């Protein structure tokens, strides 16, 4: 049986080896590229199989875990691997070659990936398309620098303009003046 490939309209942000994507949309036929899946909404979920977990962890997405450590971690914890990383990450010290510094790196990277997913879900829940959400995430350093949460307030038109405008060389936000702070 021939494998069907899934393509989306717009961008999927950082889909990595081992990622599982749930997509809603429909199949369309493009005159140039043929049959394509046009996703209106998508969500990345964590793999549920040991094989998928190993591929996900070993993909380079989680800093501090490459294919070698991914294999060791999944061999040790099996289907509970993600539960261990999420709830009891200190147990990774049991893996030969993983020390406290590596555990800290893994924990930070794991938390970062969760934040990225939460931002993307938040934007999609507020009717920002997956392609615009990906553009926003890739273009605005404020989103990548937010520590806990980032709320974007504005009209859809302003957001669309901001996402499409990649030629800005001078920032005219007047943020300092609006906050009433001194230089």
Domains in the chain (CATH in brackets) are 50-113 (1.10.150)
143 φ, ψ (degrees, to nearest 5): -70, -40
With 70 as the cut, is the pLDDT of residue 54 above it? yes
- Output the DSSP codes for 11-47: --TT--TT-EEEEEEEEEEETTTEEEEEEEEEEEE--
Percentage, residues of the chain above pLDDT 90: 23
Nearest-angstrom CA–CA distance, 93 and 73:
10
Helix residue spans in 92-168 (DSSP H): 100-125, 130-139, 141-145, 156-164
Cβ–Cβ < 8 Å for 129, 10: yes
Question: C-alpha distances in angstroms, 177 versus 92, 143, 146, 173, 181?
Answer: 48, 21, 21, 9, 6
With 80 as the cut, is the pLDDT of residue 79 above it? yes
Over residues 106-121, the pLDDT tens digits come to 999 988 887 777 776 6
Residue 112 vs residue 172, higher pLDDT: 112
pTM here is: 0.55
pLDDT value for 174: 65
């Amino acid at each position: 049986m021939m494998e069907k490939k899934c393509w989306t309209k717009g961008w999927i942000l950082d889909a990595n080896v081992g990622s599982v994507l749930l997509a809603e949309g429909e199949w369309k036929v493009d005159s140039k590229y043929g049959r394509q899946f046009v996703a209106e909404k998508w969500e990345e979920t964590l793999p549920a199989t040991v094989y998928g977990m190993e591929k996900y962890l070993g993909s380079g997405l989680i800093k501090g875990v490459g294919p070698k450590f991914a294999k060791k971690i999944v061999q040790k914890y099996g289907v509970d691997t993600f539960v261990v990383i999420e709830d009891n990450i200190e147990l990774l010290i049991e893996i030969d070659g993983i020390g406290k510094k590596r555990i800290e790196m893994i924990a930070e990277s794991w938390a970062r990936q969760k934040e990225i997913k939460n931002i993307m879900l938040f934007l999609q829940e507020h009717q920002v398309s997956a392609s615009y959400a990906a553009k926003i995430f890739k273009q605005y350093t404020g989103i990548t620098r937010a520590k806990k949460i980032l709320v974007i307030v504005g009209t859809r038109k302003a957001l669309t303009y901001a996402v499409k405008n990649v030629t800005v060389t001078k920032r005219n936000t007047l943020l300092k003046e609006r906050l009433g702070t001194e230089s």
